[in-house]
């Protein structure tokens, strides 16, 4: 089987937000038997192993997680609302081979409380119950499927599309391992769903057609009596069709760490249920090789930049926003993290407030870019009023409007000077006196 290339995704946790991805590692101590899958740290969405995570693939009954989500978010009272199995729902399930309630399936007109229907949907993966739920919540199955797709879009599951609430094979019912991870994270975050998926069996109340009955869960991974039991598994949802293969999305918890594993299209080899085996192996690998670490300090400046308009400081200290706190290989430390700094500008001007974003840093782990962190001002620095005034005056006097004013003023002065010259020249010409010779008598009078 082709070995996987594993993307280690390092997520920067600043208030459990901003994400980054990283490095390349190989799981080489055991062989995977699934077509697509991943294992992730849901606290900050760190994907520490993935295989064909964005490959279009069939989810089988894992699709029922979305059915459960839509049901939970649209039913107000699970103990008082009653779900009835209709003839139309019966027609949809006949001949599909989907899991059916109580072995012989629901009967037309059979009634059960919404809480019981949700348990049958999740624990025993009953397809007939899924159709009954779809009609009850959506009015029609078609409307309900549209609600499923609308919810997928709302959740950002862009590689997912549903055509029925069961997960029965349809070329247009597909998803990806990455989308299933986010779907499961959302579903496991709903206590009503997570609690049911942790049951190894469930005793159903009597209905108008069935006596009370106890049925086993389809997830053998949480059953201590099965040969694929994994002691740290908490919950999970199975799926199977001939086209989808064996599928499982599950959660495990150990020593304060929680992981979600997705296995799609696992092969059954010599009777081995490899969807459970592969999931347990990924969990063991994660628990044994990774831990949550703080490797970059948010309070220690990583660089500095020239600063103007401050009477006290000539340089601005710059830090990583929130530091770097994430899930990492146990051998990793601050010395294994590299970064490339990118400031928004070469120089800065006071005032500056501590925490102001002034740039970004590309983060590298194992010589590969793993994401980007914000760079922020490391302290608050006030501006000098005098320097600000002088700077404002300089800006004003050298601004474009002032340059235009200077040009206009110069033109006006030139025009004025030329006008004065021309006017003065005209006056001189007007003052010129015409010479008239004196008469003889006038000359004699002067004597």
Whether 81 shows a pLDDT value over 50: the answer reads yes
> Quick one: pLDDT band at residue 419, thresholds 50, 70, 90?
confident
Name the least confident of 10-19, 178-187, 198-207, 291-300.
10-19
Each residue of 216-263: pLDDT tens digit? 999 999 999 999 999 999 999 999 999 999 999 999 999 999 999 999
Whether 265 shows a pLDDT value over 50: the answer reads yes
CATH class of 297-323+335-385: mainly beta
35-43 average pLDDT score: 95
Q: Which residue has the higher pLDDT, 418 or 168?
A: 168
- Measured distance CA(354)–CA(348) in Å, rounded: 13
> Quick one: pLDDT band at residue 395, thresholds 50, 70, 90?
confident
Whether 34 shows a pLDDT value over 80: the answer reads yes
Mean pLDDT of the chain: 87
Each residue of 308-359: pLDDT tens digit? 989 889 999 999 998 877 788 888 777 888 889 999 999 999 999 999 999 9
Q: What is the pLDDT, as a whole number, of residue 23?
A: 34
Each residue of 5-25: pLDDT tens digit? 333 333 332 222 333 333 334
* Cβ within 8 Å of residue 143, ≥6 positions away: none
Report the Cα 127 to chain-centroid distance in Å.
32
Give the residue from 213, 206, 203, 167 showing the smallest Cα distance to 68: 167
Domains in the chain: boundaries? 6-292, 297-323+335-385
- Measured distance CA(297)–CA(279) in Å, rounded: 35
Distances (CA, A) of 432 to 66, 99, 181, 202, 232: 108, 124, 105, 127, 119
Task: Tell whether domain 6-292 is in CATH 3.40.640.10.
Answer: no
Q: Which residue has the higher pLDDT, 33 or 149?
A: 149
**For the whole model, what pTM was predicted?**
0.76
Per cent of the chain over pLDDT 70 is 88
Each residue of 93-126: pLDDT tens digit? 998 888 889 888 999 999 999 999 999 999 999 9
Per cent of the chain over pLDDT 90 is 64
Torsion angles phi and psi, residue 184, rounded to 5: -65, -40
Q: Which residue has the higher pLDDT, 269 or 244?
A: 244
171-185 average pLDDT score: 98
161-175 average pLDDT score: 98
134-157 average pLDDT score: 98
- Measured distance CA(121)–CA(163) in Å, rounded: 17
């Amino acid at each position: 089987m082709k070995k996987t290339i594993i993307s280690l995704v390092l997520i920067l946790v600043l208030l459990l937000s901003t994400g980054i991805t990283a490095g390349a590692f190989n799981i080489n101590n055991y062989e995977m038997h699934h077509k697509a899958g991943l294992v992730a740290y849901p606290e900050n969405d760190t994907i520490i192993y993935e295989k064909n995570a964005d490959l279009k693939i069939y989810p089988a009954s894992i699709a029922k997680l979305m059915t459960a989500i839509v049901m939970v978010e649209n039913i107000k009272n699970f103990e008082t609302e009653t779900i009835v199995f209709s003839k139309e729902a019966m027609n949809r399930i006949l001949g599909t081979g989907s899991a059916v309630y109580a072995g012989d399936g629901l009967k037309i007109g059979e009634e059960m409380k919404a809480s019981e229907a949700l348990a049958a949907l999740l624990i025993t993966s009953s397809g007939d119950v899924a159709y009954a739920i779809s009609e009850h919540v959506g009015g029609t199955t078609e409307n309900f499927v549209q609600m499923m797709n609308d919810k997928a879009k709302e959740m950002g599951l862009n590689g997912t599309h549903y055509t029925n609430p069961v997960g029965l094979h349809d070329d247009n019912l597909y998803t990806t391992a990455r989308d299933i991870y986010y779907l499961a994270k959302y579903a496991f975050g709903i206590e009503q769903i997570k609690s049911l998926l942790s049951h190894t069996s469930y005793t159903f109340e009597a209905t108008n057609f069935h006596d009370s009955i106890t049925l086993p869960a389809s997830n053998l991974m949480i059953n201590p009596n099965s040969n694929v039991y994994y002691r740290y598994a908490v919950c999970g949802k199975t799926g199977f069709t001939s086209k989808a293969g064996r599928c499982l999305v599950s959660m495990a918890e150990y020593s304060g760490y929680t992981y979600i594993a997705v296995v799609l299209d696992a092969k059954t080899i010599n009777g081995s249920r490899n969807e459970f085996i592969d999931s347990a192996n990924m969990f063991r690998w994660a628990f044994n090789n990774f831990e949550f670490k703080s490797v970059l300090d948010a309070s220690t400046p990583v660089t500095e930049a020239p600063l103007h308009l401050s009477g006290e400081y000539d340089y601005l200290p710059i830090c990583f926003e929130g530091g770097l706190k994430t899930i990492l290989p146990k051998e990793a430390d601050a010395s294994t993290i590299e970064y490339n700094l990118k400031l928004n500008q070469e120089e800065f001007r006071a005032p500056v407030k501590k925490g102001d974003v002034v740039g970004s840093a590309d983060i590298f782990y194992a010589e590969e870019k793993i994401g980007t962190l914000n760079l922020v001002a490391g302290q608050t620095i006030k501006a000098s009023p005098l320097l600000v005034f002088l700077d404002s005056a300089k800006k004003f006097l050298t601004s474009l409007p002032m340059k235009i004013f200077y040009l206009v003023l110069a033109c006006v002065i030139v025009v004025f000077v030329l006008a004065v010259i021309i006017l003065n020249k005209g006056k001189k010409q007007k003052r010129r006196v015409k010479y008239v010779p004196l008469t003889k008598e006038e000359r004699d009078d002067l004597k």
